[in-house]
Amino acid sequence: MSKQWIAIPLLASLFLVAGCETTPSTAKPEEPTYDQAAMSEFIRANYAAAAELLKGYQPLAAANNFSNNGGSAPLIVSTLVNIDRLDQSSTLGRLISEQLASRISQLGQNVVELKLRNSVFMKQNQGEFLLTREIKELASAHRAQAVVVGTYADGGDYVFVSLKLVNPANSLILSSYDYALPMNRQVRRLTSNNRP
């Protein structure tokens, strides 16, 4: 009888050990693929915003708005800034401005690449800021007919982006477009240097 009492706890402990061994281990999440990257909704949203911004834009007809080679004068795309800190940007602001410039160029507009110009002051890790007092001077130096400026705001579940195409001669808004990006893991990481 005592052997039975010893066997029962022994069998019970074997079942417990066997149960622990069959518990599935936490699997590593799969890495994103090139196909998934090619379908990035982030890029699509920014490309769509660039197209919408240009929809409402009529190129200026003034004589000084044409380049020497007879083509349309270029646009300048500034780095988007944090609406609460207009002197600061983030990876998000810089990346959106890069994608806007790419798409505007793809849509047939001439775009000045400011990073290749020695005359433009670039604040380290911030990009090309265009403050009101600098817009006229910079646009004149590059014979630009319009400047894309923008802000973004962290709204918790979304990042709200506001874009404006501005006439540098008089600061009038020629076209505008607003949109939102979901505050997912990717966007959160891009804005991380602005988050507390």
- Measured CA to CA, the distance from residue 13 to residue 7 in angstroms comes to 10
Domains and CATH numbers, the chain: 34-194 (3.40.50.10610)
> For 154, how many CA atoms within 13 A lie in the half-sphere containing its CB?
19
Pairing state between β 111-112 and 75-77: parallel
Mean pLDDT of the chain: 78
pLDDT at 88: 83
- pLDDT tens-digit series, residues 42-81: 999 999 999 999 997 877 544 344 444 445 789 999 889 9
- pLDDT tens-digit series, residues 142-192: 788 899 999 999 998 999 999 999 988 888 899 999 999 999 998 999 988
pLDDT at 10: 57
